[in-house]
């Protein structure tokens, strides 16, 4: 009986220990990640609903090239990009898969094939907050050149437009939604901490360490989000919430599986109807999965 009591006491002490949750990556580590996002957008035009569905898939590879006491330098590249967009009013709008061959007139497919294989560089703190991304200038140039555009003015317009989505700052904020999950302080199971990130999605998150297991870390997150998206034809302003569930690899801190469920409501304003606010709702589920980790 005394042994059992001692074992239980020891287990409780281990359970309550404060630990430093952070990335513990080694130079040479290679991590391949699969991402899938399913997004539904519903706009209500005076009782007529426009339902738009986006299904995006991507694969990308991270290789740790250097590290200091606080920052990892990571080389990364896109291996695949797939996007299917459909509408209840217009049918199939976009169908791109960079694993497939493109027909001669498929400009969209050719543009996105320019993303594949370009070497980019990321600097990331051990919390997952991203300091910088560099190298997107060449990737964007490849995307524009693949389109076969020869007019210099048109090229520059395309480059400036693509910087909003695929420029250094935009990609940094986009990847931060996957990586920025750890606190600056030590925590125990049951503890919570907060952080925030910005970009197309601005989120204030509260994270919780749910469990520590032999090989994995279980985290959950709840966040308030604000979405503000502007392009040539449409502006969207929405507010909502997101819930995140993460199973991370204990040894490295990298997410083994991650899912983010988002719901947001607000309005859209079309360029040709600037005074008309269109009620808009977005729901999405984004998942990340590490499909290969070579240490």
Output 37 or 1, whichever has higher pLDDT. Answer: 37
What is 26-294's CATH superfamily? Lipovitellin; beta-sheet shell regions, chain A (2.30.230.10)
**Domain residue ranges in the chain:** 26-294
| Mean pLDDT in residue range 279-284 | 96
Angle between helices 168-179 and 152-166 (to 10 degrees): 20
Task: Give residue 9's pLDDT.
Answer: 45
CA distance linking residue 38 with residue 248, whole number of Å: 22
Residues 260, 246 contacting (CB under 8 angstroms) = no
| Mean pLDDT in residue range 167-183 | 94
pLDDT in tens, 72-94: 999 999 999 999 999 998 899 99
Task: Give residue 78's pLDDT.
Answer: 96
pLDDT in tens, 257-267: 999 999 999 99
Q: Is the pLDDT of residue 22 over 80?
A: yes
Greatest Cα pair distance, the chain, in angstroms, is: 84
Task: Give residue 196's pLDDT.
Answer: 94
| Mean pLDDT in residue range 28-38 | 97
Residues 230, 250 contacting (CB under 8 angstroms) = no
Task: Give residue 219's pLDDT.
Answer: 98
Query: pLDDT over 90 for what percent of the chain?
Result: 69
pLDDT in tens, 212-268: 999 999 999 999 999 988 777 778 899 999 999 999 999 999 999 999 999 999 998
Residues 220, 149 contacting (CB under 8 angstroms) = no
Query: pLDDT over 70 for what percent of the chain?
Result: 93
Q: CA dihedral defined by 241, 258, 165, 197, rounded to 10 degrees?
A: 50
Confidence at 13, pLDDT banded by 50, 70, 90:
very low
Confidence at 172, pLDDT banded by 50, 70, 90:
very high
Q: Is the pLDDT of residue 191 over 90?
A: yes
Task: Give residue 148's pLDDT.
Answer: 83
| Mean pLDDT in residue range 39-61 | 93
Task: Give residue 16's pLDDT.
Answer: 54
197 class by beta-carbon count within 10 Å (0-12 exposed, 13-18 middle, 19+ buried): buried
Q: Is the pLDDT of residue 14 over 60?
A: no
Q: Is the pLDDT of residue 290 over 50?
A: yes
Task: Give residue 203's pLDDT.
Answer: 94
Please state the length of the chain.
Answer: 295
Q: What is the pTM of this model?
A: 0.89
Residues 219, 210 contacting (CB under 8 angstroms) = yes
Output 77 or 146, whichever has higher pLDDT. Answer: 77
């Amino acid at each position: 009986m005394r042994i059992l009591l001692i074992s239980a006491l020891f287990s409780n002490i281990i359970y309550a220990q404060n630990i430093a949750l952070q990335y513990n990556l080694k130079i040479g580590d290679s991590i391949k990640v699969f991402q899938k996002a399913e997004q539904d957008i519903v706009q209500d035009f005076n009782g007529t609903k426009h339902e738009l569905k986006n299904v995006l898939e991507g694969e990308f590879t991270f290789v740790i090239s250097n590290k200091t006491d606080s920052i990892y330098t990571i080389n990364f590249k896109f291996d695949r990009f797939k996007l299917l967009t459909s509408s209840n009013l217009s049918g199939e709008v976009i169908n791109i898969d960079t694993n497939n061959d493109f027909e001669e007139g498929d400009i969209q497919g050719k543009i996105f094939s320019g993303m594949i294989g370009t070497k980019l560089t990321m600097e990331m703190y051990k919390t997952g907050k991203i300091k910088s991304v560099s190298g997107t200038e060449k990737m964007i140039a490849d995307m524009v050149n693949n389109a076969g555009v020869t007019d210099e003015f048109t090229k520059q317009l395309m480059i400036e437009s693509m910087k909003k989505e695929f420029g250094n700052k935009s990609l940094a904020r986009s990847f931060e939604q996957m990586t920025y999950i750890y606190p600056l302080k030590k925590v125990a199971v049951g503890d919570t901490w907060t952080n925030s990130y910005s970009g197309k999605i601005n989120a204030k998150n509260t994270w919780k360490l749910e469990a520590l297991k032999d090989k994995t870390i279980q985290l959950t997150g709840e966040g308030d989000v604000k979405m503000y998206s502007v392009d040539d034809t449409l502006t969207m302003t929405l507010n909502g919430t997101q819930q995140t569930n993460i199973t991370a690899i204990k040894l490295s801190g990298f997410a083994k599986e991650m899912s983010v469920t988002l719901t947001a409501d607000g309005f859209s304003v079309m360029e040709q109807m600037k005074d008309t606010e269109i009620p808009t709702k977005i729901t999405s589920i984004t998942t990340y999965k590490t499909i290969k980790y070579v240490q």
